[in-house]
Amino acid sequence: MATHISARQTQFSYFDQVLGMPVWKGSKILDFGGNVGGFLANSEDHVDHDDYWCLDVCHGAIAQGRRDFPRAHFVFYNRYSSYFNPNGVRSFPVPDLGLQFNVILAFSVFSHTHLTEMLDLVEQLRQMLLPDGVLAFTFIDPSYDRSQNDLTLPSGSGVIPGFDGLRAGKLSSEMTDRVENGRQPGWCVEVDDALYIEPGDDLCQQELTVTSYCSYFTTDYMMRLFPDASVHPPISPEWQHCCVLKNTGRPGYEKLRRSL
């Protein structure tokens, strides 16, 4: 099985800016999909490692995190992922870690899941928050031009070609009707070289052997999914938006499902 080790170390700076430079010290932090703990790498003394938990579906990343940050808590999460953990258990619930958290973070996690899986996991994570807790997760907007954050990139970088003006010939009959009635797609999944526009749950059930699986959600669609959230634009040098949810008056997962 391939080991997916991330070299990214910008997570602390990103979330620190998005959340308005909160007091991290003394906060219980869950880094969902935190890989080797890159969040801690540049957090200096702002974060108590004893108060940091990382859940990830990659065995190798968890092992390295434990070596690099021995005071922090790294827990393997054996949930199926077509790319990161193809031998995992489908729909495996988020494990009970025995505490609730002030902050739950997820950087570039739901950019690799189906909509249904994202809604399920977000609801589970919100239940793990303290009453004043915050969940912040990133997502990729298919119409966002990454050259706005990185001047070294050519104009139009990262934009899914034609997503804002999809040709009817590339859509299902149901989606064609929506587009013709002014309903532009809100999300899509790119599996290797194939683009799926708002695919149903059947895509979740397929046994996929993939080299890449990327999900994209428009900012407007994310705000529709989570009307109680605040959505933040990318912070350079990153090009992912961030959805921030507080643990107050949240709608349940089933209510979200019915609203789609």
What is the CATH superfamily name and number for domain 11-142+219-259? Vaccinia Virus protein VP39 (3.40.50.150)
At residue 177, does pLDDT exceed 60?
no
**What is the C-alpha R_g of the chain?**
18
Q: Please report the sign of the dihedral spanned by the C-alpha atoms of residue 36, residue 21, residue 215, residue 54.
A: positive
Separation CA 6–CA 2 (nearest Å):
13
What tens digit of pLDDT does each residue of 9-56 get? 899 999 999 999 999 999 999 999 999 999 999 999 999 999 999 999
What secondary structure letter does DSSP report for 69?
-
Q: Any idea which residue has 């080991």 for tokens?
A: 3
- What pLDDT was estimated at residue 229? 96
Max Cα separation, the chain? 56
Nearest CA-CA partner of 30 in 118, 127, 123, 128: 128
Question: Domain residue spans in the chain?
Answer: 11-142+219-259, 146-217
Reported as a pLDDT band with limits 50, 70 and 90, residue 259 is: very low
CB 51 within 8 A of CB 73: no
What tens digit of pLDDT does each residue of 198-220 get? 988 877 666 666 678 899 999 99
CA-to-CA dists, residue 139 to 19, 67, 215, 221, angstroms: 16, 29, 8, 11
Q: Which residues lie closer than 8 Å to 94 by C-beta, 6 or more apart?
A: 32, 55, 77, 121, 124, 125, 128
Please provide the average confidence, as pLDDT, over all residues in the chain. Answer: 85
CB 103 within 8 A of CB 23: no
How much is the pTM?
A: 0.87
At residue 107, does pLDDT exceed 90?
yes
What tens digit of pLDDT does each residue of 225-240 get? 999 999 999 998 889 9
CB 124 within 8 A of CB 102: no
The Cβ of residue 75 has, within 10 Å, a number of other Cβ atoms equal to 15
> Residue 188's beta-bridge partner residues?
197, 216
Separation CA 95–CA 232 (nearest Å):
29
